[in-house]
Amino acid sequence: MTIKDAQTTVDDWIKTVGVRYFNELTNMAQLTEEVGEVARIIARRYGEQSEKESDKNKDLGDELADVLWVLICLANQTGVDLTEAFQKNLDKKNSRDATRHLTNEKLK
């Protein structure tokens, strides 16, 4: 599935099953909530905190997909073509950071 396909799929789902998009502020709050759930898993599974029993069966992939879903919702409702935006962002990184990381002593 391409990014464009994902944007179309989410839009179709919202319009048929979800009735309508939540407003942008609600989706922004929801995105923050979903990122927090990812952070909790990462902090406990890969960080120094112990993982609670109730968190051990949490699916990181599913939580990341929740983040992606809400991000796509926000892109759709604000008219952002994520394929185009991602390509422009990659081009920026490739020109701005072409040698930056290669010369960073902290990464060696």
Question: Domain limits at 21?
Answer: 3-83
Evaluate whether 55 touches 41 at the Cβ level (below 8 Å).
yes
pLDDT of residue 52 exceeding 90, the answer is no
* CATH classification at residue 12: 1.10.287.1080
First-to-last CA distance in the chain? 36
Burial of 20 (0-12, 13-18, 19+ CB in 10 A): exposed
* Domain count along the chain: 1
Q: What phi, psi does 59 have (nearest 5°)?
A: -95, 110
Rounded Cα gap, residues 97 and 1, in angstroms: 28
- pTM for this entry: 0.89
Helix (H, G, I), strand (E, B) or coil at 5: helix
Residue 17 lies in a domain: yes
The pLDDT-based confidence of 91 (bands split at 50, 70, 90) is very high
